[in-house]
Amino acid sequence: MIRIASVVVGSLVGGIAPVALEPLVGQAESFRLTIVIAAALMAGSAIAASRIEDRPREHASLLVGWLATLRGFSSWGRVARLLVPEMLISLGAGLVMPFVALYLRHHLGATVTEIGFIQAVSSVAMAAAALATPRLARRMGLAGTVVMTEIASLPFLVMIPFSTSLPLTAVLFWMRGMLMNMSWPIYNQLSMEGLPPADKPLVAGWVRFGWSAAWLAGSAIGGRLMAQSYTTPYFYTAALYLAGATATFLLLRGIRPEDREHTDALAA
């Protein structure tokens, strides 16, 4: 929740700062200064991170420790099953998500402040919706909850290119983002369920690597597509999201929570 609150505040400030600074330094410089402010805040997180204490390492070096972990790793099957839906979803997201601000600005004429407000409300909606996912997981299972919420987001996604109204498009973005992302806590539980404790960090690392690689590819392709049309990439994204949801159902539906008591407590 702290992270969501930070995203909301950052989105609002990111929308207001360029407008406030523009009369003083000009439009281009106002954006540059906003980026500098953001960079300074991110750099400041290093101070807090440096205060985090880690337990003493059992190995002589990071490389030795990593190789020892890799030799004992036994969850390659789970990694393969997770990477397929993860990379399909990430590839689809990469086609459009990095360009949402451009879409709102150049296709619908939104101001910088309006874009910041839309993104801030989207974060609030996702945070609120995430609170409902434990109850859904209790009724539909882990994989069922992920698949249902992802598929439910698709009608809102495919309606975005047809909308010519900024307020309507904002609502569509909010609904899409809320439904598509509300099950991420459940997906994280699904990805770790039943794994040996020693394997969990490496599984998480491989999944994050796959997500980042697919996002990179999607962003590169999406940039070229957006140069031709601001609306067409949304349909490709919808197809990839549907493929990712289908892969989640086919590959991960057999995973069940090991600790039923824990799941009941989560849903209470």
The CATH number of residue 90's host domain is: 1.20.1250.20
Domain match, 237 and 148 both:
yes
CB 137 within 8 A of CB 263: yes
pLDDT of res. 216? 93
Residues 6+ apart with CB under 8 A from 85: 244, 245, 247, 248, 251, 252
SS3 percent helix, strand, coil of the chain, rounded to 5, is: 85, 0, 15
Domain containing 33 equals 1-56
Over residues 11-35, the mean pLDDT reads 74
Q: What is the pLDDT of residues 198-217, one digit of tens each?
A: 788 888 888 899 999 999 99
**pLDDT at res. 104:** 92
Neighbouring residues of 238: CB distance < 8 A, sequence distance ≥ 6: 92, 154, 157, 158
Do 20 and 117 belong to one domain?
no
**Is residue 94 domain-shared with residue 156, that is, in the same domain?**
yes
Name the domain boundary from 10, 33, 56.
Answer: 56
Residues 46 and 141 occupy one common structural domain: no
User: Which segments of 168-261 are extended strands (E)?
Assistant: none
Q: Hey, what amino acid is at 7?
A: V
Q: Whole-model pTM? A: 0.77
Side-chain-facing half-sphere of 99: CA atoms under 13 Å:
27
The domain tally of the chain equals 2
∠ CA 125-101-232, nearest 5°, is 100
pLDDT digits (tens, 9 = 90+) for 84-122: 999 999 999 999 999 998 899 889 999 888 888 888 888
Domain end position, chosen among 56, 81, 101: 56
The pLDDT score that the predictor gives to residue 262 is 42
Same domain, 40 and 81: no
124-133, 142-151, 230-239 — which one is most confidently predicted on average?
Answer: 230-239
Going by pLDDT thresholds of 50, 70 and 90, the confidence category of residue 67 is: low
